Chains A and B, each alone.
Chain A
Amino acid sequence: MRVGFTDLTPAHETRARSFVARLAAATGARAEIGRAPMEVQLGLLEDGELDLVVGEFRPDTPWASTVTIVEPLETYSVGSRVFELAPAAAYGENRWIALVEREVRDSRAERRR
């Protein structure tokens, strides 16, 4: 499983790593994680070079028109703006997106407990 992280804060990187580990356990795949700026990672995702990108998006991000931004792992604010730490997958990979959505929801539910 090829995963790309964008420039995440240390706290968000920890959260993203734990989510990727969870996803790897659910799929039985080994995760290979790389780091690069958002523009690069989402380009690789679109080209099919990555299976998943975890990044920080605004809820109305324009990237939503080129990739599928899945539900957020966490929501946080910077000043008056809201951001989401969320995984993104390529458009139309419906089975994969459904699995990622399920794991995001389960992971959020576990953290709430």
Chain B
Amino acid sequence: MSEGQGHPQAIRVDMKAACRLEWWNIFWTITYVAALGLAMGGSQAMRTAWIEDILGLIPPVAFLIAERYERRASNRRFHYGYDRVNGLGFFVSAVALAAVGLLLLMDAVTSLAMREHVTVGTTRIFGHDVWLGWFMLAAQAYACIPPFIIGRKELKLATRLRDKLLHTDALMNKANWQTGVAGFLGVALLGFGFWWADAVAAAIISASIILDGWRALKVAIAELNDGVPHELEGGHRAKDARAIDRALKARFPGARVLLRETGRYIRAEVVGAEPPRGFDPDDLEIEGLDSRWRLDSVAFRP
């Protein structure tokens, strides 16, 4: 939490699990990035999927860096601590994602317009000529498995931790295995002589990258602009925020309640009310707030 050191007790176990998962995520991503890199040859769909997979390393690395900062206590330079480092990492990931997606889409559309044909040759192994496309398909199939498993695990943790960076990573892993399937089909159709299939698959993959980046960018900007806390998915106001809003309005009738999200925490401000003597937000009864640690502080502006 902002002024103290370390994460709140209630989320420490989940944070440890998330860090462990992200280290595994980095390890498996490196293995399938290497496999795709070795097998991709001239396939544009595979190159696009490969770049997307490399970009997939940004959220877990950003998460691990942000987690280390978040644990630090506030100091003379940062009076509110480092809760927003997570949001900052999230913003950087979103910009990188959207920008690279646009570049790759341009690449794919140019290839289609220029009617560029992709060569996938053969190699001789133990006296047999083997189509290199088989290696591409095997690498692409392998690259679908880790993100499928890790993404599902991350989604549960991200919901409990209210962690946008982890949530983006889960979505990116989902996009990675889906684009893996698109890349697989692109190479397979290329093998059947459909020269355009590879570039079309690359364009579809790029569009999914742009969409991921755009969604993440909207949420990141909202947080950095002191927006009202929103659910991780769907863009609705967060259930926790609604519960805090109701509780504070009931306790301070006639006052305005302002809410903003700082990293995974919610900060509230009550405008038009005096702080009661000895008021402690931890003692406030908040019906419907499942994760009590979410409410970081309540400030008053009489």
Which residues from chain A sit less than 8 Å from chain B, CB to CB? 68, 70, 90-95, 97-98, 101-102, 105
Contacts and interface: CB of A to CB of B under 8 A. Distances in A.
In the A-B complex, the 5 residue pairs with the closest CB atoms: A92-B117, A68-B119, A91-B117, A98-B122, A102-B129
Nearest to A92: B117
B30 to A, nearest CB: 29
Contacts of B118: 91-92
B214 interface: no
A91 B116 CA distance: 8
A17 B272 CA distance: 95
Contacts of B117: 90-93
Contacts, number: 36
Given A92-B119, A105-B129, 5 more contacts: A97-B122, A98-B129, A98-B131, A102-B122, A105-B124
A94 B121 contact: yes
Contacts of A68: 119, 121
Contacts of A92: 116-119, 195
Contacts of A101: 121-122, 129
A91 B124 CA distance: 20
A68 B120 CA distance: 10
Among B119, B124, B131, B195: residue with most chain A CB under 10 A = B119
B55 to A, nearest CB: 26
B144 interface: no
B190 interface: yes
A48 B117 CA distance: 13
Interface in B77-130: 116-122, 124, 129
8 contacts: A68-B119, A91-B118, A92-B116, A93-B117, A94-B191, A95-B193, A97-B119, A97-B121
A70 B193 CA distance: 19
A98 B121 contact: yes
Contacts of A94: 119-121, 190-191, 193
Nearest to A97: B121
